[in-house]
Amino acid sequence: MTDSSGAVLPGVTIVIENLGTGATRSSVSSDTGDYVFNLLPSGRYSVRFELHFKAVRKKFEDAGIALFAYTVNFRNDFTDDELEKSIEQAKALGISIIAATTPLSVAKRLVPFAERHKIYVAMHGHSNVHDTDEFSGPESFSKALAMSKYFRINLDVGHFTAANFDAVTYIRDNHDNITHLHMKDRKKNDGPNMPWGEGETPIRQVLLLLKEKKYPIRAFVEYEYRGTGTPIDEVKKCMSYMRRALA
């Protein structure tokens, strides 16, 4: 077992549960990060990693990095236990916000867990306006906000523009319910991701609105276009674009 940087994670307890029988087994990762489950019966299993998220939190804290949100894409096949465990993981990381791409039908199931643990779930939308169970525009976000006081919006200004909605107006009217933004440049009419400045997303206008109104909304670069350099190089270009917009 390793973390996202490739560092070995020893001493992590891995627990698996057979979703048909409820039977559980556990294993602990070795000094080399290895763990083994022998002779498992066939079936569907859930997996959880105990203490792992607290260890991850400590690594960030030791590096002086403050975590803001934890992304979990809740899907239809999540069990209630998996929904709650995901929220517990966010708490173990010391985070009060989960950013989620999830169907509206699953968002309803999240309500009791978010409210029990007092964790905000910020719904992330895409540009598919034809699927009424997916988040895309103002109407779908309003439905989520009506479900729970712990539901918020993670607005993706690129997808919002591609769905032919006005990101600037929406942020101005709903800033109290927006935790953070995903910044990218897309064309309207469900058009493609473009290098920043070549699409139709009002990136500069959005940033200037945040600056003018001093909204406590964070704006994160989301690199999704096909660039000519490495991902690091392209993200640096995006950051430079944002700095110029705010100058």
The tens digit of pLDDT for each residue in 126-180 reads: 999 999 999 999 999 999 999 999 999 999 999 999 999 999 999 999 999 999 9
Q: What is the pLDDT confidence band of residue 242, given thresholds at 50, 70 and 90? A: very high
Q: How many residues does the chain have?
A: 247
Residue type present at position 39: L
Residue type present at position 235: V
Inter-axis angle of helices 167-174 and 203-213, nearest 10: 20
pLDDT in tens, 52-81: 788 888 889 999 999 999 999 999 999 998
Q: What's the average model confidence in pLDDT over 5-24?
A: 76
List phi, psi (to 5°) of 179.
Answer: -85, -45
Q: Where are the beta strands (DSSP E) in the chain?
A: 13-18, 24-28, 45-50, 70-71, 97-100, 120-124, 151-156, 178-183, 185-186, 193-194, 218-221
Give the strand pairing for 151-156 and 178-183.
parallel
Just give the CATH number of 67-246.
3.20.20.150
Domain ranges of the chain: 1-52, 67-246
Enter the tokens of residue 123.
Answer: 């719904």
Of the chain, the end-to-end C-alpha distance in Å amounts to: 44
Query: pLDDT: is 10 or 188 the higher one?
Result: 188
d(CA 76, CA 28): 30
216-226 residues labelled b (16+ CB within 10 A) or e (exposed): ebebebbbbbe
pLDDT at 3: 60
Residue among 158, 159, 164, 167 nearest 206 (CA): 167
pLDDT at 125: 96
pTM: 0.80
pLDDT at 52: 72
